[in-house]
Structure 1
Amino acid sequence: MVLGQSLRNHKTSRKLVVMIGPHVSDPSRAVLHRIYDEVRLVDVLDSGDTANLAMMKRPDLGVTFTKLHCWTLTHYSKCVFMDADTLVVSNVDELFDREELSAAPDPGWPDCFNSGVFVFRPSKETYGRLLQFCTEHGSFDGGDQGVLNAFFSDWATTDINKHLPFIYNLSSVAIYTYAPAFKQFGSNAKVVHFLGNTKPWSYSYDPKARTVKGDVQAASSHPSFLLQWWTLYATFVVPMMHQEYGDTPFHSGCEEEMATAPPPPPMSSLERKQRWEQGQADYMGVDSFDNIQKKLDAFLK
């Protein structure tokens, strides 16, 4: 919702499409319909590669295979994919002048591109080849970035025009800081990417004081971007959420509402089991890898 609204605020002239899984609630879908031109329901794809995901300590990234569905958007000739944890801070329509597969270098290994933002051409043939590649070769990191870098393996060496400047995928995470470069080029940032385990929605926000609550400095080298995310969310998205949810309480993350809103009722064991069977586990919450590990440890003891 925040990503789409940031694109709208910066006057994009392009159609906006969001891909969602079946777990997204009806009120949230309604808000997405208000922001995006098209809301497309897709199946959740999971790499199931626990070994490589454990190496990165990111078991949640297996489901990022779902983004491969973007190649099925064949009613468009060219698209720009953007992860949900990105924020547009300036108009980026010029990205459509680039060709497939254009992306910015990953800050952790610059010979690989970061798959949070990339230009591509939808194609059923490419989609089929990608799925076949996943089946035959898997992913070297267990997530979508490994498989896409292996599939588009000539990105690092063939055409420099397919290397997007870092300002189109600027990492906000402290471990990737190059302070002099940020001082020189940071004001030209176009897209901020909130990499890592801790996302903007992991915090809470005080709208009156306009401050983000939590260990902001530890997770972000540029807290101003985090504040931008929350300001946009509280100003534009939360009012739409209230309209769609009506009298049904929801957790907005804004502190003044958290004090008055009752907690959501706990999910029954049967309901949780049904969600698991439908591929709708709460990967980031109660069904996270860490919680499952704790359960196993307690059982084995």
Structure 2
Amino acid sequence: MPETVMGSKQAQSHVKQMLVQILAAVVSAKRFGSERLAGLRPTLAWLMLALAARAGWTMLQHLRGYVHLRISAPLKRSGVKYAKPCAHGWRAPCPCCKRPLDIQLAGPETPQLIHPEAKGRFAYLICLWGSSPEYIAGALVLGSSIQRTGSKHDRVCMYTEDVPKEYIRLLSKFWRCKCIDHVDAVLEQLSFPDREERFANVFTKLRGLGLTEYEKVLMMDIDLLVMSNIDELFDLPAPAALRRGMNEWGRNCHGEPIDGRSFLLGEDKSMPRWSWGQGTGINAGVMLWQPNQEVLEQMLAELSEPNHPEHVRGNGPEQDYLSRFWADAPWTYIGVQYNFQLHQMFFALHPDRAQYAERANLLHTPEEIKVIHYSGKPTAKPWHRVLDDKWRDFWPSRCRDDEYVHLFAEEFMGYWLWVKRDRAKFESQKQVTGSWDLAGMELTEDGEYCRTSKGYPEVLHIPEAVNQGAMNILSLCLSKWFDIYASLEEELGIDLRSSLMSAGHCKPSPAPTLSMPRTETLLKHTAWRRTSRGGWWVEAEKSDKGEQSNALNKLTATCGISLDSKFVSLRDSTSIFEESGPDVSGLFVKLQGQTAARHFRLDSEDLTPVQFWVAGVPPGATVLVAMVDADAASLDAVLRVLAPLGVPKQPPPSNTRVLSCISVAGSDASQDVPCANHASPDVAYASLLRAESRS
């Protein structure tokens, strides 16, 4: 934050002299207002004011040598820098990243001009990619819910070419559908590794900023339900969104600006994952944008540059990025009633929040909630009841609605803690790093929460009316979603589930080609040799002549499993991906030269996401593969899908639990193309040597 600092007593003396001159000029101008010089008053007054302005400019010129700007940031360990005067202002390094800054005095920012044809045109906007029937069901219900409110504005659905045509035909009944290209971002620089798969294509929604035929667009997640008309949101200044968190301290009010300075963190050694990261920001579920092609191009340039200093890793890459990009705009606060997140509703039942948190207050007046957000885990979505075989006994019959509400609530940790007061969940959650809001709390045998930090048990009350209010809202919003879904089937005259599932199994368009470094790579097998008689075994280039060379440029794919932990390591000479812990399982794939790996959990029989990824790998690309805790029943199907990558098609031994492989896409494992692979019940290891030249 810039601050002026006076350089010396001499500077103060100059300022005093200049102020005296300005004051004298102004007083002289005033005296010429007498009636004696009434005829000359305008001319002489302007002359005196001109002299005052000249004196002021002279003062500024003198001050340039004495006044410096003190540059600091409200972040821990950010440092302080001083800007030095230059020909056009001041120059200084950033106190955080040390990159150069140019600082100048300027007038207010010129507001963006709106094209006359876009003036007064607004649109509700969603974005779809892939062939998931679940999100198509969500988009249909969302579009219908907006239509039912009587909104006068357009509804636009952006979609990519990998969305089946039958889906587009259905969506066109409620949305104006517009085909767009994927947006590829350097996700490994913007997301934690365990979140990359979930947010692989999420930046594609930024294409909405290119819809300059509209004055404003309301970008919406698919897992929303509009309960009543919300056209008034288009009256807010853009950008606008809900700020994340409980909003119980320093509460923002709907329509107020958000202080973006609080989004970023400084040093925090207690939580290394978040040190110098981002602590909060906006929620991207409901965002108001003003389309601007120049802004879109600037964003795309930043997102494609892996070394851009803007990048910060986080749990929600696109909403974190947008929070930072417009932190100084500033963002306008959208009230929680327009983005009522269900998982946050249950967290708001915490005894320290239940009395005054913004969401908790709305539990008493549910009629004020205008948009429901089925947020939280991917399993906490209403469409699973109508599409998944797991719930076949709950649909289409509605007689078990009440039972389903409680089963649905079990997807939220807040429900287990504050409604059911489950001791096992409470104790396990206390062990989770970062659960500061449970510190000092205990759950008694009587099911009461108390805090002992004051030296005596302090009983913490959660009003029963608040808990019941949360369950009532959950029941209401689930019932509303299913009512609209059922009415859609009647309106369209089809079995929507059958139509969605059959269309989803049609062969979609191939996924976009994955980018990779332009290299010419020569792969060679390795062989184990002893350094000397009785010495260590090492890897070296396999040669018929018995020659040996050091493994300077090596690719390795390693994975393992034990009683209490699992790990994956995919390495080449320029990048490393590693993951470990008791929950590591599934398929991991990485292209040579890319830092990030794609993780497929394989917890369902649907291998469509894996097929999409495989279809996008260019022929000749070197691929590193690891599979942990492999399920023998599904292993054959997975290997068939991976066959185009050069992975062996033949099933491994029945006791196999881990697999590793390094292969070349477009080849066959039986061909004379280097392919290293290993199947094992505990630890798998594969390696190849490479020699390459960049083009």
- Give the TM-score of the pair, scaled to structure 1: 0.76
Query: CA 1:278 to 1:234, structure 2 compared with 1: closer, same or farther past 3 Å?
Result: farther
- Letter paired with 1:152: W
Partner in structure 2 of residue 219 of structure 1: 411
Partner in structure 2 of residue 275 of structure 1: 510
- Letter paired with 1:40: K
TM-superposed CA distance for 1:229, in Å, is: 1.5
Partner in structure 1 of residue 658 of structure 2: 298
- Letter paired with 2:291: P
Partner in structure 2 of residue 189 of structure 1: 369
Partner in structure 1 of residue 256 of structure 2: none
CA distance in 1, matches of 2:342, 2:289: 24
CA distance in 2, matches of 1:139, 1:154: 17
Partner in structure 2 of residue 19 of structure 1: 158
CA distance in 2, matches of 1:76, 1:210: 45
CA distance in 2, matches of 1:15, 1:83: 16
Secondary structure of the corresponding residue to residue 222 of structure 2? coil
Which of 298, 311, 321 is 1:147 aligned to? 321
Larger radius of gyration: 2
Q: Tell me whether 1:70 sits opposite 2:208 in the alignment.
A: yes
Partner in structure 2 of residue 206 of structure 1: 395
CA distance in 2, matches of 1:32, 1:266: 17
CA distance in 1, matches of 2:500, 2:411: 22
Query: CA 1:266 to 1:293, structure 2 compared with 1: closer, same or farther past 3 Å?
Result: farther
Q: Gaps (5+ residues) in structure 2?
A: 1-139, 248-262, 264-279, 355-359, 387-393, 413-469, 515-597, 614-625, 631-637, 639-656, 661-679, 681-695
Query: CA 1:266 to 1:117, structure 2 compared with 1: closer, same or farther past 3 Å?
Result: closer
- The structure that is strand-richer by fraction is 2
CA distance in 2, matches of 1:186, 1:239: 29
1:70-124 deviation digits (Å, cap 9, x = unpaired): 0011111111111111111110000010111111112379841101111111110
- Contact 2:225 / 2:372 at 8 angstroms: preserved in 1? yes
- The structure that is helix-richer by fraction is 1
TM-superposed CA distance for 1:3, in Å, is: 1.0
- Contact 1:53 / 1:62 at 8 angstroms: preserved in 2? no
Kindly report which structure 2 residues correspond to 1:1-301, keeping only aligned pairs within 5 A, or say none. 1-36=140-175, 38-47=176-185, 49-50=187-188, 53-54=191-192, 57=195, 59-107=197-245, 111-134=280-303, 135=305, 136=308, 137-138=310-311, 140-141=313-314, 143-154=317-328, 158=330, 162-173=332-343, 175-178=346-349, 180-196=360-376, 197-198=378-379, 199-204=381-386, 206-209=395-398, 211=400, 213=404, 215-219=407-411, 222-236=474-488, 239-240=491-492, 242=494, 249-251=498-500, 275-276=510-511, 285-286=606-607, 287=609, 298-300=658-660, 301=680
Partner in structure 1 of residue 115 of structure 2: none
CA distance in 1, matches of 2:491, 2:505: 25
- Contact 1:104 / 1:164 at 8 angstroms: preserved in 2? yes
Secondary structure of the corresponding residue to residue 80 of structure 1? strand
CA distance in 1, matches of 2:200, 2:238: 24
CA distance in 1, matches of 2:242, 2:205: 17
CA distance in 2, matches of 1:28, 1:145: 27
RMSD of aligned Cα (Å): 3.7
- Letter paired with 1:115: A
- Contact 1:20 / 1:40 at 8 angstroms: preserved in 2? yes
1:184-232 deviation digits (Å, cap 9, x = unpaired): 3433111111112222223335233265558311136624312322221
Query: CA 1:219 to 1:121, structure 2 compared with 1: closer, same or farther past 3 Å?
Result: same
TM-superposed CA distance for 1:44, in Å, is: 2.4
Q: Gaps (5+ residues) in structure 1?
A: 253-262
Secondary structure of the corresponding residue to residue 157 of structure 2? strand
CA distance in 2, matches of 1:108, 1:183: 14
- Contact 1:77 / 1:121 at 8 angstroms: preserved in 2? yes
CA distance in 2, matches of 1:293, 1:43: 33
Secondary structure of the corresponding residue to residue 60 of structure 1? coil
1:9-55 deviation digits (Å, cap 9, x = unpaired): 1111101111112222222211211112x201112224352476446
Percent identity, aligned pairs only, is: 21
Query: CA 1:293 to 1:164, structure 2 compared with 1: closer, same or farther past 3 Å?
Result: farther
TM-superposed CA distance for 1:264, in Å, is: 8.5
Query: CA 1:203 to 1:143, structure 2 compared with 1: closer, same or farther past 3 Å?
Result: farther
Query: CA 1:237 to 1:112, structure 2 compared with 1: closer, same or farther past 3 Å?
Result: farther
CA distance in 2, matches of 1:7, 1:47: 31
CA distance in 1, matches of 2:326, 2:221: 18
Q: How many residues are paired up?
A: 277
